[in-house]
Amino acid sequence: MLQAQIGIIGGSGFYKLLAGGQEVTIDTPYGQPSEKVLVSEYAGKKIAFLPRHGRHHQYPPHQINYRANLYAFKELGVRTIIAPCAAGSLKPDIKPGDFVICDQFIDRTKSRKDTFFDGPKVVHISAAEPYCPFLRELASETCSALGLSFQRQGTVVVIEGPRFSNKAESDFYSQTADVINMTQYPEVVLARELEICYLNISLVTDYDAGLKGREDVKSVSAQEVLAIFKENNEKLKELILGLVKNIPNEGRTCACGQALQDAAL
């Protein structure tokens, strides 16, 4: 089987990164991934790309086979995952078109398979730092070098979907989170169980259910999300490819690769 060092998960409106490459069909113990994995090369590194929702966006957030997607990357030898996604802003100062490099999440999902350890082996991983701190710092440096508008940290609240929030929910979430999304959980914790470094780049596409006291800011629509994402797609690709160039093969300072140490009972 082909091998890859870096895995990239494409979100809504992001179904392709590099031209060429080889498509790989991977069978996992958890079923089929959302799509065939495309393995290409960039900056001397093998890159595995997988569209989270499928190339035709046929899987809604609550029906994505997250375990198969992450396990497919593990099978390819991936040690680093860059996982962009569309997100709604919950704060007035985080604007559509901004990037947020998330460092925390709040899980509000309901019915998703979110572990590889269903027994008899029992594992309790720590999720204190769910997103790789080494990659987050590298992403901040890359955003700065490219002159992008970004937040170097933020909390994402992950809702079940597929509907968007109502105003009461959005106001409630804004008290504790910065952005809102439907796919960051369980992706991030599954990557941690596989001891893979995981980075989220949230591209802000809207203001969720609007902003309190701002009648001029309307609630989000699916078409608006795709329009803003497409408008910023080239900036996102430039950021990802810049990151790929900067990610070292060795010398990381994170503990992601030892996430299972002392986690099993």
For residues 228, 139, 242, 15, the Cα torsion angle rounded to the nearest 10 degrees is -40
Spot the catalytic one: 103, 107, 178, 206: 206
Helix locations, 40-183, DSSP H? 66-75, 133-146, 167-173
Q: Name the β-bridge partners of 48.
A: 7, 39
Preceding amide of 248 cis, omega within 30: no
Is 208 in the active site?
A: yes
Helix locations, 50-183, DSSP H? 66-75, 133-146, 167-173
CA distance 80 to 153: 19
CA distance 127 to 109: 16
Is 216 in the active site?
A: no
Spot the catalytic one: 98, 208, 216, 262: 208
Cβ–Cβ under 8 Å, residues 169 and 102 = no
Preceding amide of 96 cis, omega within 30: no
Q: Which residues are catalytic?
A: 206, 208
